[in-house]
Structures are given as C-alpha cells and as structure tokens.
Copies of this chain bind each other. A is one copy, B any other.
Amino acid sequence: MPQSDQTETDAADRFNQARAAQSVALLEDYAEMIGDLMEEMGEARITDIARRMGVTHPTATKAVARLKREGLAISRPYRGVFLTEAGLALADRVRARHRVVVAVLEALGVPAETAELDAEGMEHHVSEVTLAAFERFLIARG
C-alpha cells in the first residue's frame, strides 16, 4: 500500500471513530444525568432532565425514547424515567470517566470551571486505552 493511500485510510479511520463516538455521546450524557436524578430525587422526571440538559421537554422526551429503544431506560406515560441495569452500568462508567477527564485537565493546570466545561464534550472521545493512561498518570502524580 502506497504511502498516500495509507494517509487517506488513516484519516478516514480517525473521522469514523470520532463520528461513532459522537453518535453515542447523547446517550451517555442522558444516562449519566438520569442516574444522578434517580440518586437525588428517587426518579427522573422529563422536566428535570430537560432543564438540566438545557433543552425543551419534547427534546428530552425524544432522547428518552432513544434510550428506551436502546434498552437503557424504561418509563410509563406520565410517570418518571428509570434506568435499566444496562443504563445504570453505562451511567456509572460515564460518570467515572467524566471525573477522570476533569481531574486530568485540572492536573494539567486548567481552571476548575473550564475543566468542567471542556470535559463535557471531550469525555466522549476518550477511549479505554486513553482512559487507562489518564488513570495511571493521576496515580503516578499522586
């Protein structure tokens, strides 16, 4: 394989991975947040989800519909939303990863509020391998 072909497939692979990560980003954020609300309030109401996500309630309803379709949440009409086992597992993984990303940013000298803001988008593109490296870095650093 000539070098220029290699350059092209490598680039395409990168963009494909980024697109794949983006396509689950919304599910991850909703799962994490619904988990938070269940913890805090016992249930997650559409209105509360929408307010925290900064969207209108029909938008939150659509996202929850997708979560249900993917087996991550359940709900009955006019009742709260609840995560399934799979949803809870996802929420936990996402929450842990979020904290690691914020911690790494802060360790690198990023102000706390900025770290929180940037981590919200960056986290979804942090692969398992990178997450492991982040954790090693945080431990080594003490």
Contacts and interface: CB of A to CB of B under 8 A. Distances in A.
A28 to B, nearest CB: 11
Interface of A: 7-8, 10-18, 21-22, 29, 33, 51-55, 104-105, 108-111, 114-118, 120-122, 124-127, 129-130, 133-134, 136-137
Given A108-B137, A121-B22, A137-B108, A8 B130 contact: no
Contacts of A55: 15
B129 A111 contact: yes
Given A121-B18, A122-B122, A8 B108 contact: no
Given A22-B121, A120-B125, 18 more contacts: A7-B52, A10-B116, A13-B54, A13-B117, A14-B120, A15-B53, A15-B120, A16-B54, A17-B117, A17-B120, A104-B108, A109-B137, A110-B129, A110-B133, A115-B130, A117-B127, A121-B124, A122-B126
> Could you tell me the dominant secondary structure of chain A's interface residues?
helix
A51 B7 CA distance: 10
28 contacts: A7-B52, A11-B33, A11-B52, A11-B53, A14-B117, A15-B29, A16-B54, A17-B117, A17-B118, A17-B120, A18-B120, A104-B108, A105-B133, A108-B133, A108-B134, A108-B137, A109-B133, A109-B136, A109-B137, A110-B129, A110-B130, A115-B130, A118-B125, A118-B126, A118-B130, A120-B125, A121-B125, A122-B122
